[in-house]
Amino acid sequence: MIALLTDFGLDDPYVGIMKGVIARLNPAATVLDLCHGVRPQNVREGAFLLATALPYFPPGTVFVAVVDPGVGTARRPLALATPAGFFVGPDNGLLTWALPGGPTGLETTPREGPLPPGVRAVELTNPAYWLPTVSATFHGRDIFAPVAAHLARGVPLEDLGRPLDRILWLPRPRPVRRSDGTLEAHVLHIDRFGNLITDLEPADLRPLGPRPVFTVGSSQIVGLVRTYAEGQGLVALVGSSGHIEIALPNGSAARQTGLDLGAIIVVAPGGG
């Protein structure tokens, strides 16, 4: 199985062309669209969506992720083999949130670090597994899609290129505890419904009491609800990704609050 995640959208033929390349090289492969709505060049959002989808795919899936503002430059093309599956894409941190460990922080510049135990990596340097002509602007078609097709056919990772023991890691945002005891959380993704999905997880809220107070723009929310349908106005709840999100039942929290990716949500302690 091959799963595709890109920032290409569906208005242009780019995704379909990648599927065509895969079909020519490996007609038996099942190809799934994971997501093509990542915001253009937003590597952090792509990394988040890839990591949250990973647990629901069978082991051995080949994930092709292309959010690649550095395409055609000196950035390396990668393939990774992990216990969960294979990952093919640029060496810009996009693949790293799907791996165990890694740095945390709010900076958006990737930093080099070692591979975690059980993960193997190669730089894609063997053109025998690419298309014959490689564009400087569409490695998804010319390198990543062909490599994924060959991996899904059983070509060994080591045949694809030069082994690596270090790659670029994109720091994973985590809530910051302030000196006044509040938490500073950050919006990582806004879904099609306008829900603000944050880097908060339920365990982060436990020290704040049973009814934490969320400051979302100029609005406040007290406590969590269990479903989208509960409450009036903005609500906070644990979403399907396991992260805390801010929602507006039958509306868009993003539109109502004016918040966007990277926005700060402050969470304060609250009593029963």
On average, the pLDDT of the chain sits at 96
Question: What local confidence, expressed as pLDDT, does residue 107 receive?
Answer: 87
**β-bridge partners, 216:** 219
Q: For strand 61-66 and strand 2-6, is the pairing parallel, antiparallel, or unpaired? A: parallel
Decide if pLDDT at 142 tops 70: yes
Decide if pLDDT at 218 tops 70: yes
For the segment 92-115, the average pLDDT, to the nearest whole number, is 94
Decide if pLDDT at 232 tops 90: no
Decide if pLDDT at 255 tops 80: yes
Is 227 exposed, middle or buried, given 0-12, 13-18 or 19+ CB atoms closer than 10 A? exposed
Identify the CA nearest to 66 among candidates 146, 6, 150, 115: 6
For the segment 244-251, the average pLDDT, to the nearest whole number, is 96
Domain extents for the chain? Answer: 2-169, 176-268
**Under CATH, which architecture does the 176-268 domain have?**
Beta Barrel (2.40)
Contact (Cβ atoms closer than 8 angstroms) between residue 108 and residue 169: no
Question: What local confidence, expressed as pLDDT, does residue 266 receive?
Answer: 97
For the segment 226-232, the average pLDDT, to the nearest whole number, is 89
* Residue 272's pLDDT band (cuts 50, 70, 90): low
Helices (H), 1-113: 14-25, 43-53
pLDDT above 90 covers what percent of the chain?
Answer: 95
Q: What is the C-alpha separation between 256 and 241, in angstroms, rounded? A: 22
- Amino acid found at 116: P
Question: What local confidence, expressed as pLDDT, does residue 270 receive?
Answer: 86
* Residue 61's pLDDT band (cuts 50, 70, 90): very high
The CATH code belonging to domain 2-169 is 3.40.50.10790
Same fold, 2-169 and 176-268: no
pLDDT, tens digit, 9 for 90 and up, residues 151-203: 999 999 999 999 999 999 999 999 999 999 999 999 999 999 999 999 999 99
Decide if pLDDT at 256 tops 70: yes
For the segment 241-261, the average pLDDT, to the nearest whole number, is 96
What does the DSSP assignment read for the chain?
-EEEEES--SSSSHHHHHHHHHHHH-TT--EEEEES-SPTT-HHHHHHHHHHHGGGS-TTEEEEEE--TTTTSSPPEEEEEETTEEEEEESSSTTGGGSS---B-S--S-EEEEPPTT-EEEEE--GGGS-SS--SS-HIIIIIHHHHHHHHTT--GGGGEEEESEEEEPPBP--EE-TTS-EEEEEEEE-TT--EEES--HHHHGGG-SS-EEEETTEEEES-BSSTTSSSSSEEEE-TTSSEEEE-TTS-HHHHH---TT-EEEEE----
Dig out the tokens for 4 from the structure: 């595709």
pLDDT above 70 covers what percent of the chain?
Answer: 99
Report pTM.
Answer: 0.95
Decide if pLDDT at 45 tops 90: yes
Identify the CA nearest to 189 among candidates 247, 230, 266, 232: 247
Dig out the tokens for 85 from the structure: 């599956």
